[in-house]
Amino acid sequence: MGVFELTLVVAALILGVVITGVVRFYALRTNLVDIPNDRSSHSTATPRGGGLSIVLVFAGVLVSVYMASMLSSTVFIVLLAATVAIAAVGFLDDHVDIAPIWRFLVQASVAAGVVIALGGMPPVDFGRAQVDLGVTGDILLVVFMVWFTNAFNFMDGIDGIAGVETTFIATSAVLLIGVSEGGAVNVLLAALAASTTGFLAWNWPPAKIFMGDVGSAFAGFILVAIALVASGQGIMPLWPWLILSSVFVVDATVTLVTRMLRGDEWHSAHRSHAYQKAARRFGSHRSVTLLVLAINVVWLLPLAFVAARKPETGWWLTCLAWTPLVIVSLLLGSGRPDKSDSAVS
């Protein structure tokens, strides 16, 4: 990265801290506060919507990168339109509770638009063959994009965890691509990590403000969108991205499937994710957030490194990455109610 790129990243970090503080002031003045209930993992009322700072900083960096002729008009328009649409729905939902069906329709429409505009899913490397899934692949990618967007929202339930996951995925992708390579993709990822780190200065346990739907939905969506840009341009294949996001993908998926098999109202609010159960078991948000970070760095990052260097190994390395996480989620009782649930701070 040159001086211009590094300046953008440093500015993203500083603005992430400052703007989150401004959003917190706004949330307190407008009573935009989460009140604990029997499904909360918190015991104190806390302002929400702090993820707006991440959105605003990312949008600013996106415009700056485009103005510097580092990004094509198509990619710029697609990413900016997706940022505005997804963040706007999240912002409204933080204020007035939009019906899930409307959130889903907007997310699905935007995801379909992004996939079509960026040329669809690239061929997938399964070792002995590069498989072009065609329209089926495009549909699967749209479904995953919507699912990961909501998974990020579901997983944003204890202090610091969504911010740490966003920073880890974005920073790791920069390292795997190569700090001096990747062009605009790396700058956007580094700025996303930096602005999220600035937000974490306020969200680290005990949190002074929550990310909110505006931040969690945006983070999940934009990570998949950037991954699609990177894979489409041959910068980094999809497998490493899938490995890096394993903790959120596995916990959210195992929990949802378990609740559906049990006949529960799977779409209703709950706190039966593995990370939530772990937080109650340890009596600490900080411990679980740090444990997730350790799993990411010690287990997932090395596997993603190999998958990035040898894409033909990606499919089975992804299975390897997921297997112990699935087992741990099941052992913790993901998706199953716990009568002894009690909030921890």
- pTM of the full predicted structure? 0.94
Phi, psi of 76 (to 5 degrees): -60, -50
| CA pair distance 169, 301, nearest whole angstrom | 9
Place of tokens 């590094």: 6
Other beta carbons within 10 angstroms of residue 311's beta carbon come to 21
User: Which among 32, 30, 8 is positioned nearest to 211, based on CA atoms?
Assistant: 32
| CA pair distance 195, 220, nearest whole angstrom | 15
137-156 pLDDT per residue, tens? 999 999 999 999 999 999 99
pLDDT the model gives residue 343: 45
Q: Spell out the alpha helix ranges (H) of 30-160.
A: 52-67, 73-96, 100-117, 134-155
Read off the pLDDT of each residue in 82-97 and give the average, rounded to a whole number.
94
222-256 pLDDT per residue, tens? 999 999 999 999 999 999 999 999 999 999 999 99
Burial class (CB in 10 A: 0-12, 13-18, 19+), 265: exposed
Q: Is a pLDDT exceeding 50 seen at residue 202?
A: yes
| CA pair distance 42, 35, nearest whole angstrom | 9
pLDDT the model gives residue 50: 96
Q: Is a pLDDT exceeding 60 seen at residue 38?
A: no
pLDDT the model gives residue 210: 96
Report how far apart, in Å, the C-alpha atoms of 266 and of each of 5, 146, 168, 336 are: 43, 16, 28, 11
**Percent of the chain's residues with pLDDT above 70:** 95
- DSSP class of residue 157 equals -
Q: Where are the domains of the chain?
A: 3-32+48-331
Full DSSP string of 24-54: HHHHHHTT-EEPP-TT-S-SS-EE--TTHHH
pLDDT the model gives residue 297: 98
Strands (E), the chain: 33-34, 46-47, 124-125, 130-131
Asked if 103 and 89 touch (Cβ cutoff 8 Å), the reply is: yes
User: 42's torsion region: left (phi>0), alpha (psi -120 to 50) or beta?
Assistant: beta
Average pLDDT, the chain: 92
